[in-house]
Structure 1
Amino acid sequence: MIYDCVIIGGGIAGLQAAIQLGRYQHQVLVLDAGVGRSTLCRSYHNVLGYPDGVSGKYLRTIGRKQAEKLGVEFLFGKVESVEKQGEIFFLHTQSGEFYQGKRLLLATGVMDRLPDFPSLIPCLGSSVYVCPDCDGYEIKDQKTLVLGSGNVGANMALTLSYWTEQLIYINHEQKPVDAELIKKLHEKQIAYYASPIVECLAKGEQFQGVALQNGEKLAAHHGFVAFGANEVKSQLAKQLGVELLENKHIVVDPRSKMTNIKHVWAAGDVVAHSEQVTIALGDGSQAAIWIHKSLIE
């Protein structure tokens, strides 16, 4: 079977595109590996209609149900390779299966580099955050620990000083921090520790602080993570010759979300823009509209 469109990635952007294409009554397949930012975040607080927060898992669950009611097919699997032969895309999965589509939407996202502390994961989105634009509001006037690495963590702490004066930056990986940034941290009265963290303290979704290698414990009910070198999942785009920026994000037409390769679109965090759930929703819908236009030409 040749699908009208194959969507790689069942996160927020991929689901919104699937719903829109399903409403156009196209034959759509979503291939999802079941990982990504939206599988981790316990609560997004800046989404219209959810003032008390909504989890990525919940959005994915209701989004999939909505798309399935419209006839969209979902398959669990990781796409290993993709190639274009004439006007058809051939996708091969890790398990050895292959699928064909007339159009391709890459909604493969980004994965944050997180420290290896299992107790931190339940806190993500509830009391520990990664995006100051999404969640800076959540730490307003609250004591907050920034767990990070080198200049990336220092810049995060300085950004968060807009929201609170009670900040501590812990350079877990002890990578160098520029002298100018150290000076700015001092000017903002942001405490700085260049020490490895040995344990993240938490009770369920409630972050409580960290224990440092030197035996010191730092207590706080809020945390931000800023380690840099996040994985931009654009490997499949590269296989197709899609234009990428130096940081590996995909370049798209701002109006249609199509890449430089005909009939290949991209949406969500894998695209070069502010990485937000709300923007991913818009991206997915916009890409789907232009995919539909191309299919009925």
Structure 2
Amino acid sequence: MELSKKNLNQRLNQIYDVIIVGGGAGGLSAGIYLQRFNLSSLIIDKGKARSFWMQELHNYLGLPPDTPGRVLLQKGKEHYASLDGDFLNAYVEEVVEEGETFAVKVKVGRVNGVDAVFRSKYLIAASGIIDNLPPLDEMRNVYDYAGYNLHVCMVCDGYEMTDKKCGFFAGSEASIEEMVFNLSWFTPYITVFTHGNFAVSPEMRQQLREHGYPLVETPIKQFLGQNHQMTGVELVDGSVIELETGLISMGSHYHNTYLQGINLEVKGSNLVTDKMCQTSHPRIFAIGDLKVGLNQVVIAAGDGALAATQIWRDIRCETGARRWEENLKVNVF
């Protein structure tokens, strides 16, 4: 059922088997598996998952390569709804452990928001990350090209940048060291931009010179292009650098603050899990970009299947085998 301010009261007294925070590919996959295991689930989604901004999914098995991420999500949501799963557009503010259940505190609605609390036995954190974009005065200018030929994931889109003039938009020297020399597998025509946000060491400058990669430290005024195809950048000094594509590597923001009250093992900004996506808390699972691993839509969908299956196994073991009551009432043996 699609929940909203109008019908929240119908579910506030229910204890779900699982609440899923995040309605991206991972969360929807988990929800579909849970419903097919005859468990009760609620997906709480703040909207605009990372995959929503992907204009084309070039590497998802079985889908036409021009499939937008939002189409994949819409199909997944329709599938979940057909299995009678509950879905709520809301922002999760906090998760509180109450013993056998979790209290999930949410804010429903951006305007005149309503506070509500839902409860579940298990929790799946699938709220993902959002990539930091170049901080320009007119951010609409960034969104015109992000997800088209201005990319945020080399694993996803390195192939699309093959032998093209590529702008690498760095958030730190560490991102240059980590990403640029790997990006050269796809294209050697790399120009590195710092947007004037950080200093570059003499050692890194020398490495870039040795590889022939120009370093541009003057801040960017705007991206140039048309019809969502970026063709270069204009710097604040008025100069223009022509490009055919770009890769942004300026870090990410992890949507996991609602878990701060629970002591979970982390590695950097990622939650540590086992092979079934179980965190250091036995009833909390983390899937997709929140966990240590590869940030890919197909991986998130697989993680959803793993987490849901392990939760079903746990609940099944606690409940035990069902008896054929009719046969127990008569001696049929």
Is the TM value for this pair above 0.5? yes
State which structure, 1 or 2, has the greater radius of gyration over its C-alpha atoms: 2
CA distance in 1, matches of 2:61, 2:77: 19
CA distance in 2, matches of 1:114, 1:129: 10
Letter aligned with residue 7 of structure 1: I
Corresponding residue SS for 1:13: helix
CA distance in 2, matches of 1:103, 1:90: 10
Letter aligned with residue 41 of structure 2: V
Greater Cα shift, 214-223 or 201-210: 201-210
Partner of 1:238: 260
Question: C-alpha root-mean-square deviation of aligned residues, in Å?
Answer: 1.5
Question: 1:139 and 2:139 equivalent?
Answer: no
Partner of 1:181: 204
Partner of 1:99: 118
Shift of 1:125: 2.8
Question: Where does 1:144-223 land on structure 2 (aligned, <5 Å)?
Answer: 144-155=166-177, 156-223=179-246
Question: 1:253 and 2:266 equivalent?
Answer: no
Shift of 1:102: 1.2
CA distance in 2, matches of 1:152, 1:50: 35
Partner of 2:11: none
Corresponding residue SS for 1:281: helix
Q: Deviations over 1:161-194 (max 9, x none)?
A: 1111211111113411233322221121111111
| Contact 1:21 1:288 (C-alpha < 8 Å) held by counterparts | yes
Corresponding residue SS for 1:224: strand
Corresponding residue SS for 1:280: helix
Aligned residues: 294
Partner of 2:15: 2
Shift of 1:157: 2.6
| Contact 2:23 2:49 (C-alpha < 8 Å) held by counterparts | no
Partner of 1:77: 90
Shift of 1:150: 3.2
Corresponding residue SS for 2:264: coil
Shift of 1:40: 1.8
Gap regions ≥5 residues in structure 2: 1-13, 108-113, 318-333
Partner of 1:109: 128
CA distance in 2, matches of 1:274, 1:41: 17
Shift of 1:47: 1.1
Gap regions ≥5 residues in structure 1: none
| Contact 2:23 2:45 (C-alpha < 8 Å) held by counterparts | yes
Shift of 1:152: 4.1
Corresponding residue SS for 1:42: coil
Corresponding residue SS for 1:97: strand
Greater Cα shift, 266-275 or 34-43: 34-43
Matching residue within 49, 56, 59 for 2:62: 49
CA distance in 1, matches of 2:142, 2:259: 31
TM-score, with length taken from structure 2: 0.84
Matching residue within 138, 143, 150 for 1:121: 143
CA distance in 2, matches of 1:124, 1:55: 13
Letter aligned with residue 166 of structure 1: Y
Partner of 2:7: none
Question: 1:33 and 2:46 equivalent?
Answer: yes
Q: Deviations over 1:186-233 (max 9, x none)?
A: 1211111111001111323211211001111112221111112x1122
Partner of 2:316: 296
**Are the structure 2 counterparts of residues 279 and 58 from structure 1 closer, same or farther at C-alpha, using a change threshold of 3 Å?**
same
Question: 1:264 and 2:290 equivalent?
Answer: no
CA distance in 2, matches of 1:172, 1:264: 39
Q: Deviations over 1:100-150 (max 9, x none)?
A: 111110001111111243122242332011111111111111111112233
